[in-house]
Amino acid sequence: MNHIFILFIAILLQGCVIFPLPEVYTPEFKGVILDELGKPVSNAKVTRIEPSSRAGEYGSMVSVRVNTDEVFTNKNGEFYLPNKSKTVWFHGGIQSNLFSCFGSFQVEANGYLTYIANENKFTKMTEHGERCEGVAFLVDVRLQKVTNSKN
C-alpha cells in the first residue's frame, strides 16, 4: 500500500518542479508625448495600468485595473516604463506555447485631456514560455488641449 501511494505522488508531481524563476509579465514602453502641434510635453505623468483581481461580493473575484509604476516625461517629452517581472515557484505541467503579452498606460498633463492607451493596441503573441521577455512597444502619443466652452 505504501508503494502505491509513493507511486501515485510521483506520477502526480511529474513535470511539476518547484524552484524560483523570474517571469517578465509586462512589456516595456518607450515613447514620446507630444501636443497637437507636435511639440514635446514635458513633465507629463505616464502611469502603467495592470490587470488585477480582488474579492467581490459573496466571495467572487472581480477584475479591476490598478495603476502601478509612474514616470514623468523629460523636457523632450520622452518617457520609459521598464518591463516588470515576478518570481514564479511552480513550473511544468501542461502549458500552452503561445502567450499574450499586453500592456496599457495613461498619460496626464496639466491643460490636456487624459490619454488612456487601449491594451488591444499594445498586444503581442510570444512563444515558448517567454511571456513578455524582450517585448517593447514604441509609443507616440498626441495629447489634446482642454477647451473651455461656455454656453
Domain spans, the chain? 17-142
- In this predicted structure, the answer to whether residue 14 has a pLDDT above a threshold of 90 is no
Of residues 22 and 136, the one with the higher pLDDT is: 136
Work out the burial of residue 8: count CB atoms within 10 Å of its CB; fewer than 13 is exposed, 13-18 middle, 19 or more buried: exposed
Provide mean pLDDT across the span 5-26: 67
d(CA 25, CA 147): 38
- The CATH H-level superfamily of 17-142 is Immunoglobulins (2.60.40.10)
- In this predicted structure, the answer to whether residue 87 has a pLDDT above a threshold of 90 is no
